Structure 1
Amino acid sequence: MPYSTDFRLIDRVVADEFLRFSERKRIARGLIDWLGFTRDYVEFEAPDRLAGEATYDMQKLVGLALNSFITMSIKPLFAFGYIGLFITLAAFIAGYAVIVQQFLLGDPLRWNITGSAMLGILVSFLVGVMLISQGIVAVYMSHIYMQAQGRPLFVIDRSTSRNLGGSARAGDPWNS
């Protein structure tokens, strides 16, 4: 939401669920949103600062953005795999075109492809294959990362949940 801040008013249930996280570098705004509880917004106009200067400079903002992106998403792990896939496909197409044009058709387009250009295409293809391999390792790393975070599989909002069956027991929190 544009112009949003980090000021939040959360109830005890949300605070208790947030405290269950065992992560060390917590991104509070991302984790509280991840919990999925109902939220509302209060619009206000922030007055100008009366004294002093903001100490949160651009370097800290960039660091926060990178940390948020890495902490809340596994997409950066897959980036090299996708780049490798693109490079491999491009090198394969270029290599195929060179083989057909140079060797099968006898260079009718007069490309005059040299051996060093063919070597460059081969190296690009192999670099792409290596990056795809890193992407495959990233899949395994993402599973380890998700397990290491220790986040709960789900969070139940007991204030809106209902007992859907079975007998009611005294003191059962689901019956309130």
Structure 2
Amino acid sequence: MISVIVPCFNEEEAIPLFYQEMEKIREQMEETFEYLFINDGSKDRTLEVLRNLASQDEAVQYLSFSRNFGKEAALYAGLKEASGDLVTVMDVDLQDPPEMLIEMKAMLEINADLDCVGTRRVTRDGEPPIRSFFATLFYKVMNKISQVEVVDGARDFRLMRRHMVDGILEVSEYNRFSKGIFAWVGFETEYLPYENVERVAGETSWSFWKLLSYSIEGIINFSEVPLNIASYLGFLTFLLSLLMMVVIVIKTLVFGDPTIGWPSTICIILFLGGLQLMTIGILGKYVSKVFLETKKRPIYLVKEKSKKKVD
């Protein structure tokens, strides 16, 4: 059986279209499908659409969160509920081409040592240029400073064997960055390239600033380099201050001209103050992660859940 995990946030228009396309693929593959829709605190008719769909097809299951916990929580909830031998994660807006599942399944059948078949976008046609630029920059920076390699353009859309899913569930941390977790757990993975596909309905909830914040979270979760940068900047500033003190003393002894100047003093104070605030901010991000983990709060809360049919 293949478990299909589908996070949803205000996707009442896209869900029927996604289901229709997936049913076509299910007929071609002749596999038993299990749909797991995760309603992540939607404000539109998403939950109503899922209820109707579940009443019509026993293969459709859904979870509805008590509020919006984010896509990472929805992914974790779906993986936790999935019972299939193979598990896939897909976007409901059809930006993850369903027909690729056929080739992904075939690759797993041919290569018994392969644990996962992922997908990666090789083009970003249709995206704003600045968004594409920062996305490419993120992958370059992430792979330079992190211990795990995140493939450029890699999507959450992937087909995984059960033992890989179990490994991912072992990583039950509160601060989640799935792309990094998929890479961290290891397992043999191959990627299928494809060109960007625009969403079929609705509007994306991922603004530029949300994506930027998500990228920063990913870097913080999988790298200690920002902490090292803060330490290096502090040390270099200390050396620079020593050098400036020597210059001032020599200038005073040789020329008898003590350094004066209110503007230069203010500039130095502002520079050092800004540097201190930046390093404190970096430290604060890591401390906040520790703070959230030690609270042991649940990753998500379920308000409503479909009833599984009993054969």
Residue 70 of structure 1: how far off its partner (Å): 1.2
Mapping 1:36-47, distance limit 5 Å? 36-47=186-197
What is the total number of aligned residue pairs between the two structures? 133
Task: Report the CA distance between 1:49 and its aligned residue.
Answer: 2.6
CA contact (8 A) 1:95 1:118 kept: no
Task: Tell me, yes or no, if structure 1 residue 8 matches structure 2 residue 158.
Answer: yes
Q: Please tell me whether Structure 1 or Structure 2 has the larger radius of gyration of its CA atoms.
A: 1
Q: Which amino acid aligns with 1:106?
A: F
Structure 1 unpaired stretches of 5+: 150-176
Deviations 1:111-153 (A, max 9, x none): 65128699779979xx69xx6xx89xx6xx89xx6xx79xxxx
Residue 245 (structure 2) aligns with: 95
Bigger relative contact order (CA 8 A; separation at least 6): 1
Q: Secondary structure at the residue paired with 1:83?
A: helix
Q: Deviations over 1:46-80 (max 9, x none)?
A: 43332222221112101211111111112223333
Displacement of 1:8 = 1.8
CA distance change for structure 1 residues 95 and 45 in 2, over 3 Å: closer, same or farther?
Answer: same
Separation of aligned partners in 2, 1:123 and 1:43: 51
2:259 aligned residue (113, 117, 136): 113
- Say yes or no: does 1:77 pair with 2:200: no
* 3-state SS, counterpart of residue 10 of structure 1: strand
- The residue number in structure 2 matching 1:154 is none
- Percent identity, please: 24
Please report the TM-score for the alignment, with normalisation by the length of structure 2: 0.36
Residue of 33, 56, 59 corresponding to 2:206: 56
User: Separation in 2 of the partners of 1:46 and 1:123?
Assistant: 49
| Residues in 1 aligned to 2:212 and 2:165: alpha-carbon distance in whole angstroms | 27
Seen in structure 2, the aligned counterparts of structure 1 residues 12 and 21 have a Cα distance that, compared at 3 Å, is same
Contact 2:251 2:258 in 1 (8 A): no
- Distance change in 2, residues 1:18/1:113 (3 Å): same
Give secondary structure in 1 for the equivalent of 2:247. helix
**Alpha-carbon deviation of 1:7?**
1.0
Residue 194 of structure 2 aligns with an amino acid whose one-letter code is F
When the two chains are superposed, the root-mean-square deviation of aligned CA atoms in Å is 3.6
Q: Which residue of 2 aligns with 1:158?
A: none
| Partners of 1:91 and 1:121 within 8 A in 2 | no
CA contact (8 A) 2:180 2:222 kept: yes
- Partner Cα distance (2:239, 2:251) in 1: 18
Q: Which has the higher helix share?
A: 1
DSSP 3-state at the match of 1:26: coil
CA gap 1:39/1:19 in 2 versus in 1, 3 angstroms: same
- TM-score normalized by the length of structure 1: 0.59
Aligned equivalents of 2:252, 2:264: Cα separation in 1: 11
Q: Which moved more, 1:85-94 or 1:36-45?
A: 36-45
Kindly indicate whether the alpha-carbon contact (under 8 Å) linking 1:30 and 1:72 is maintained by their aligned counterparts in 2.
yes
Q: Structure 2 vs 1, CA of residues 32 and 91 (structure 1 numbering), >3 Å: closer, same or farther?
A: same
Q: More strand by proportion, 1 or 2? A: 2
